[in-house]
Amino acid sequence: MIIDQIDPHNYITHRLYRQHCSPEGEFHIKNIEKIGRGLQKILLIDNLAESFSKQPENGILVKDWFDDMEDQELSMLVPFLKLLVENKVPDIRTEIRKVLSY
């Protein structure tokens, strides 16, 4: 899996995939409040903003990668993800706001 390539040291301890989503209309929604963990430590990365519409402050929207064998979108996030881990950021939502506010 791609996440294994960008996280070879297993800093990411939990991973949620499509089967962990709730279907709502034509979308699969990642409602992280249902997992009972603090939202300040949960980061959602998806190519559909609707997927993290319940907690948009926890989400990072990436471009579609379908049929693009040269896609580097997740690799471009590595410096940001390292910052979160190395600085032991107490609330990732604060850092997401900084990055997305350009």
Domains along the chain with CATH numbers: 2-100 (3.40.50.1000)
Nearest-angstrom CA–CA distance, 44 and 51: 9
Question: Taking 50 as the threshold, does the pLDDT of residue 99 lie above it?
Answer: yes
Model confidence at 100: pLDDT above 90? no
d(CA 49, CA 59): 8
- Which pLDDT score is estimated for 19? 83
Contact (Cβ atoms closer than 8 angstroms) between residue 87 and residue 94 = no
DSSP bridge pairs for 44 = 59
Question: pTM for this one?
Answer: 0.81
- In angstroms, the CA 82 to CA 84 distance is 5
pLDDT at 101: 67
> What pLDDT sits at residue 87?
92
- pLDDT attached to residue 29: 92
Q: What confidence tier does 78 reach under pLDDT thresholds 50, 70, 90?
A: confident
